[in-house]
Each structure stands twice: as structure tokens, then as C-alpha cells.
Chains A and B, each alone.
Chain A
């Protein structure tokens, strides 16, 4: 988004602002400084962003939120450190270099109360929204997608040429907070209070919160009924369309200006289904869309050699929830559009050689076979319901205990995929 003019960033609409609750406070009560005409004298000791200290400036009226927010991800940025530490291997000697890198390039995404509720975020240049009037609901394009723009914003608003915006926006004009409610954003839910990553803990928001009859197929749609009661595929596998992936972001400090900068080597559009790298009780899906994040083994080499020595500990094709949901998509147009269609699966040939090891948990052996094969598959015998192990290949690879040996067409299949065709009794 275009930055505001300097005057525009600090122009107060006194008529509108003074009519609000916050307008009952004087400027100096929140911003300090001195009530004199000379600019430099007036600004001496000024607090530009009072809400950086919510306990001091906000808590008197917004007690619960002010207490919770410092542990929310928008404030702590803990998700950055969770992945940085994992890829670094948590080497103590590397932390000074990583701290410097983080402060130069990542810390600008830390968000104060005011950066959502009264002004644009500082990493897009800042500036008051509407003459210093506080907005209970942050304006979506000047707040949320001002930061979350290049991926989520472009997808949701339909700014990727040739790909429609999210149906929730196109048809219902829903904004971000319709799903991502204040309690979640302020770190006031179990999943978000003190969270270490946005994908840890309960999946929230969840599509089935609003579409409860989809997961178990009780909505009468055959494809919903056939795909594992909402546990085999995440909703986005069938209902999202092509989205952005990036490669090779490197960060450094400019010799010319002394300013930090980044350079991303490639940005391209993808739709690829991979195995779920973070399969948990809360996100049980076997398959999810995966997006390439722009990390490379040398992303931070400006700050030190080998800062990502544990690079392979996390995939570079990551669990993603593209925000461009459609009822009808190319992959759900027919069974064959997905089954037997290797184009939309993250197979090894689509992964760069130096990233193969990092992505071994995500890479799909091959596209699922023809639907006829699934429908004709023999159901598992009744006794299998009590098997403690789901390691099918333990018996069926060599015919142990007279188990039928799986045919040649099954070579490359893994045990956790058997149940997809051979249903439990």
C-alpha cells in the first residue's frame, strides 16, 4: 500500500476524535510532551506510541486485554523464534548473531495496540487511520493486510491475477476479524495465550465452526463423505486455489545506507498437496496444501556462517491454509482431477535437491490411484479393528501369518495410507 504523506500521518480530526471516549483525555496524558507552540519544545520527552506499554496507558480501561496481549503472538513474535531456534539447532553461541538479525529484520512486525486500533503498522510507514479516532475493528486493508499482504491479503482479496478472491470476501464481504476474533488476536484463548507458534494447539478458527455438517458428510455431498470424516484432507486441499510461494530470502545491512534490507530470489504461484508435516490430534489431516517459504540455508549468512546448521529439521514446503477458498476448484471438479493427477502433488521431482531431506515428511510418493481402485479395495477384516499397530506393511509386505502380500501397484505406498482405500470394518 502507498505510504501516507508525513503531514497526513499525524493530522488529527479534532471534531471526530474529541467526540470519542479517548478524546476525553488530553494529548499530554497519553503522549507526555509540553503544551507549547514550538514543535521541538512541545515534543521533548514525547511518548509517540503509548500503547507499547499497555499496562501503563491502556489497562485502566482495557484491563483484561492489556494483561493478555503481551503474551499474544502479534506482540511476542514467538513463532519466529520457534522456527529460528529449530533450524539453528538452538546453539547458544549463535544467539547474539541471530538476535541482531532478528532486531534488524523481524522485530518491525511486533505490533502494539495502537498499530491495529489507531494507526497503520510501522513497517508500512505508520500514520493515523482516521484522524486519531480509535477503531474497535481494525480496517482490514490498512491494518491486517498491510502486513499480511503478499500472501494472505492478495489471496483473500483476489489480487493474484487470474485467481479469484476468497468466497467469504467476494460473496459475503467478510473481513479478517469475522473469523479471527479479538480474543484470539489478543491472546485470550487457550490456544493463543502464550502460544509458541500459530499452528500449535487447537485449530482456531476452524471451517467446521460455521460449516459443522461438512466434516462428517451429513451435508449430503458425496466427496465430503468419502474423504475420511474430515480427518484425511484439510478443507483447503479441495477448496483453495493457486497461491504464492517464495524462494531464497536473504537479509543484510546496506553498505550504502546502513539500512537493513532483504532480497527474495523467486516468487511463483503454486498449488501443491503434501503430507501434513505437523499432524496432531488438533490437525489430524494426512494431506494439506503446502507452500514454499523463502528460507534457505544461507538466509542469514550476512550475520554469521552456519546459523542454520539444523536446516533439515523443518520442511521448506510448509503446512498452509491459503485464504482463497472457493466452492468449486479445479481439483474438486471431478474425482480424476485429483486422483491420478501428479501435477498437484508435491512429489520429489518438484523439490530442489538440497531441500529433499528437509521435506522428506512432506513429499508424496505418488498421486492417489484411480477412484475405481479405491472403491474396489477389499475392506479390512473385522479383526483389524483391534490391532494395536497400523503398520500394515509389517505383515503385508512378506505375507506374515498368511496375510495377502500387497500387489506391485502398491510399491511405494506407506502404511498410513492403507486405510484410505481399505476401510476399517
Chain B
């Protein structure tokens, strides 16, 4: 029984350490693609609180609006 227990424990430990060593080797094998992936990630979100604060405030948009350029086709006549 003890002998069987020892053999079983040794097998489990063997598997455990071999899997640990495999995991430890993985970054080295796939190092380059992993780095590329990190580089390809979108730029971290930039807060846009000020943008929304203005663009949700009707009065502020009215106050800060530049005079509109004349309609480009205002001088047109007839059906376009």
C-alpha cells in the first residue's frame, strides 16, 4: 500500500514538475509574438470628460460656435 502510495505520489509530482517546466519554457518559445501582440493593443483609453462636458451642453455650444460659413451653394438656382 505504502509502496503504491509512494509510486503514485512520485508520478503525480513528476507530472507536476514537468508541466511547470513546460510552462516556464513557453514564454521563451513564443516571446516574439507575445511582444508583438502587446504592441498591437489599442492605445490605452484617453479620458474625454471635457469633450463630453462641452458637447452635451447646448448653451455652451451656442456660446462658443463660430459663425457658419455661407452655404456653398447658396447662390445656386434651380433643382440640383
Q: Interface residues, chain A, CB within 8 Å of chain B? A: 3, 6-7, 10-14, 25-29, 31, 33, 35-37, 39, 42, 108, 123, 125, 132, 150, 244, 246, 249, 254, 256-257, 259-267, 294
B-side residues, CB < 8 A to A, are 42-43, 45-56, 58, 61-62, 64-66, 68, 70-80
Kindly state the separation between the CA atoms of A323 and B68 in the bound complex, as whole angstroms: 35
- Which residue of B48, B52, B61, B80 contacts A150 across the interface (Cβ within 8 Å)? B80
**Nearest CB in chain B to that of A34: its residue:** B50
Given contact pairs A28-B46, A37-B54, A264-B79, enumerate 17 new A-B contacts (beta carbons under 8 Å): A6-B66, A7-B65, A11-B58, A26-B45, A26-B46, A26-B48, A27-B48, A35-B51, A39-B54, A42-B50, A257-B70, A257-B74, A259-B72, A260-B73, A262-B77, A263-B77, A264-B77
Q: How far is the CA of A261 from the CA of B80 in the complex (A)?
A: 10
List chain A residues, Cβ under 8 A from B45.
Answer: 25-26, 29
Cβ of A125 and Cβ of B52 under 8 Å apart?
Answer: no
Q: With A11-B61, A42-B51 as known contacts, state yes or no: A261 contacts B76, CB within 8 Å.
A: yes
User: If A7-B65, A29-B45 touch, does A265 touch B51 (CB 8 Å cutoff)?
Assistant: no
Give Cα distance in the complex from A265 to B54, angstroms: 45
Closest 6 A/B residue pairs (Cβ): A264-B78, A27-B48, A7-B61, A261-B75, A27-B51, A26-B48
Are B74 and A29 interface neighbours, CB within 8 A?
A: no
Tell me whether A249 and B78 are in contact in the complex, defined as CB-CB below 8 angstroms, given that A35-B47, A262-B73 are known contacts: yes
Q: Assess whether A267 is in contact with B79, with CB atoms less than 8 Å apart.
A: yes
Q: Which interface residue of B46, B48, B56 has the most chain A CB atoms within 10 A?
A: B48
Answer whether A35 and B78 are a contact pair too, CB < 8 Å, given A7-B65, A11-B55: no
A215 to B: closest C-beta gap in Å: 34
Contact B50 A12 (CB under 8 A): no
Point out which of B50, B52, B66 has the most chain A C-beta atoms below 10 A from its C-beta.
B50
19 contacts between A and B (CB under 8 A): A7-B62, A7-B65, A10-B61, A11-B56, A26-B46, A26-B47, A28-B51, A29-B45, A35-B48, A37-B53, A42-B54, A246-B78, A249-B78, A259-B70, A259-B75, A261-B75, A261-B76, A264-B80, A294-B79
Chain A, interface SS category:
mixed
Q: Are A10 and B51 in contact (CB under 8 A)?
A: no
Q: Which chain A positions have C-beta within 8 A of B46?
A: 26, 28-29, 35
The answer, among B61, B62, B65, B76, for a CB contact under 8 Å with A263, is B76
CB pair B52–A244 under 8 Å, yes or no, is: no
In the assembled complex, the Cα of A254 lies from the Cα of B45 at a distance in Å of 46
Q: Are B55 and A257 neighbours in the complex by a CB distance under 8 Å? A: no
**Cβ-defined contact, A14 with B56, below 8 A:** yes
B68, closest chain A residue (CB): A6
Task: Collect the chain A residues with CB atoms within 8 Å of residue B71's CB.
Answer: 3, 125
Residues of chain B lying within 8 A (CB to CB) of residue A25: 45
Given A10, A264, A266, which contacts B55 in the complex, CB threshold below 8 Å?
A: A10
**Considering the chains assembled together, what is the distance between the CA atoms of A256 and B66 in angstroms?**
22
Q: Is the CB of B52 within 8 A of A12?
A: yes
Given the complex of chains A and B, what is the CA–CA distance between A150 and B51 in angstroms?
37
Report the minimal beta-carbon distance from A57 to chain B, rounded to whole angstroms: 12
- Name the CB-closest residue of A to B42: A29
Residue of A nearest to B73 (CB): A261
Please state if A27 and B52 are interface contacts (CB–CB under 8 Å): yes
The complex places the Cα of A259 from the Cα of B76 at a distance, in Å, of 10
Chain B contacts of A257 at CB under 8 A?
70, 74-75
- Separation in Å of the A248 CB from the closest CB of chain B? 9
